[in-house]
Amino acid sequence: MLDMKWIRENKELVQQAAERKGLNFDVQQLLEADTRRRELQQQADQLRQERNTHSQRIAKLMQSVKARREKPRAAQGGEQGEATEQNKATEKDKATEQAEQLKQTVAKINEQLKPCEEQLLEAEQRFRQLMLEVPNPPSPDTPIGKSDADNVEIRRMGSIPAPSFALRDHVELGELHGMIDISRGVRTAGSRSYYLKGAGALLHRAVQQLALDYLLERGFTLLDVPLMVREEAMYNTGYFPSGTDSAYRIDGENRWLIGTSEVPLVAYYDNEIVDAAEPIRLTAATACFRSEVGSAGRDVRGLYRVHQFAKVEQVVLCEADPDLSEALLHEITANAEQLLQLLELPYRVVAVCTGDMSQKNVKQFDIETWMPSRQAYGETHSSSNVHDFQARRSNIRYRDAEGKLRYCHTLNNTAVATPRILIPLLENHQLEDGSIYIPAALRPYMSGLETLQAPITYMAESAQEQLFPK
């Protein structure tokens, strides 16, 4: 969400952002809704003020009538006393008459106010709906494009392996080692489901713990967060209204399963004033859920696109300083890169273009890791700077050096997501006989194992002959 005053002053920029992000949003409709809302608000306020003024006058008149009624008769005799009583009665009648006239006026005001308030409520609802659709303008250095094909590569790290033997994909390797069981997963939970077992489950846990230990050493605070959140948390973090199709709703409840722990991590500070003198660094390791609507027929083999997965997320809140949040964006991206280097995997970093960027992001980097079975880099990490977009919706503020309340900037990054990361981990580190090399950084979490040995029955014939010559 953006500041309405800023939107009025920068309507061309907002419309440009919508067009470049491929969003169906018309800023003129918002401006008209805002004008309508303010006009009705002014009318309603004026009517309420008139009603209050008249009501106060009625109260004073009725008090004066009551006072005259209760005041003892003056001890006066003769005609003068009778004249005084007649004057008081006349004044009482006039006050009562004025009060009755004012009551009629108030009744007419209420008749006008009721439809005005109803129209105002409708106008406010329309305004809020449109405000939730306002895009966050991308940074000036964000590449302009329509899809991920227009993302711009920034750098590559690591060498793509060129083995002399035929490579197995992660599904074959998983079945070879008894680590991945997709058929039983589908039988149990439907499409895009799986079981990890044995070494597969251990690797799944190992990469998460490696990421957590790495982040904790760098000052992140670990939270164990809710996996179900109220609908407003999804709106406040910018995942709704556009992302309702990709989320799972708890039937009969106003709660949704999270697709990322970014949602409960940001929501932790909803409606609070925080101390942002130093950036607030948070992390969580959670199960996540996405319905993958719109991906029918895409990436149906293996673990690339599944309904349930795990993520270690980085979330940072800081002062509303664009230079500071830009530096923090590079920091959390570097954390993810370091983890990939510890996993000894080749990857590249791309600047995400406008058309591949979500409504909430100002700037985004994706990290893509080399996946031999795809003969391409596949997205494994994403880093985003959203400035104060989420904080405005969530009402998360801090006091600046002058004591003024300001909205925080927020950032997020996927430190690691699994089982997707198992694809490059297994495929890049496979050996000719089907064994799998375990990077040194993971060995402490894998009981010191350096290699996952392939079962002898699946060894290549050449390897079997070397071990067991005929």
pLDDT digits (tens, 9 = 90+) for 149-179: 999 999 999 999 999 999 999 999 999 999 9
Q: How many structural domains comprise the chain?
A: 2
Residue 225 belongs to a domain with what CATH number?
3.30.930.10
What contacts 384, CB < 8 A, 6 or more positions away? Answer: 329, 358, 360, 361, 362, 363, 364, 411, 412, 413
Do the domain assignments include residue 19? no
| Residue 204 three-state SS | helix
What contacts 21, CB < 8 A, 6 or more positions away? Answer: 135, 138, 354, 355, 357, 358, 359
Do the domain assignments include residue 83? yes
Domain check: are 409 and 263 in the same one?
A: yes
Do the domain assignments include residue 417? yes
Closest-CA residue to 318 (of 364, 274, 280): 280
Q: Which is the catalytic residue, given 20, 192, 281, 290?
A: 290
Residue written as tokens 């198992």? 422
Q: Which is the catalytic residue, given 261, 325, 358, 382?
A: 382
- pLDDT, position 363: 98
Domain check: are 180 and 127 in the same one?
A: no
Q: For the chain, which residues score pLDDT lower than 70? A: 70-92, 293-298, 456-470
- pLDDT, position 84: 60
Domain check: are 399 and 442 in the same one?
A: yes
What contacts 211, CB < 8 A, 6 or more positions away? Answer: 285, 312, 339, 415, 416
Domain check: are 229 and 122 in the same one?
A: no
Do the domain assignments include residue 42? yes
Beta pairing partners, 138: none
CA-angle at 23, arms to 294 and 262, nearest 5°: 70
- Cβ neighbours around 224 below 10 Å, total: 10
Domain check: are 106 and 173 in the same one?
A: no
Domain check: are 118 and 154 in the same one?
A: no
- pLDDT, position 464: 45
Domain check: are 173 and 123 in the same one?
A: no
Beta strand extents in 135-227 (DSSP E only):
152-157, 180-181, 195-196, 221-222
Please give the span between the terminal C-alpha atoms of the chain, in angstroms, as a whole number.
72
Last residue of a domain, one of 62, 96, 131: 131
Domain check: are 191 and 73 in the same one?
A: no
Do the domain assignments include residue 209? yes
Contact 411, 383 (CB under 8 A): yes
- pLDDT, position 90: 63
The secondary structure element, H or E, covering residue 313 is strand 308-318
- pLDDT, position 296: 59
Last residue of a domain, one of 66, 100, 131: 131
Domain check: are 85 and 188 in the same one?
A: no
Range of the domain at 109: 26-131
- Cβ neighbours around 310 below 10 Å, total: 19
* Reported pTM: 0.88
Domain check: are 87 and 53 in the same one?
A: yes
Q: Which is the catalytic residue, given 51, 337, 420, 427?
A: 420
Q: Which is the catalytic residue, given 313, 379, 383, 393?
A: 379
Do the domain assignments include residue 87? yes
Do the domain assignments include residue 230? yes
Contact 306, 259 (CB under 8 A): no
Active site residue 382: yes
Domain check: are 342 and 202 in the same one?
A: yes
The secondary structure element, H or E, covering residue 272 is none
Closest-CA residue to 196 (of 178, 176, 210): 178
Do the domain assignments include residue 65? yes
Active site residue 420: yes
- DSSP at 430: B
- pLDDT, position 60: 86
Domain check: are 209 and 61 in the same one?
A: no
The one-letter amino acid code at 449 reads L
Q: Which is the catalytic residue, given 305, 348, 392, 399?
A: 305
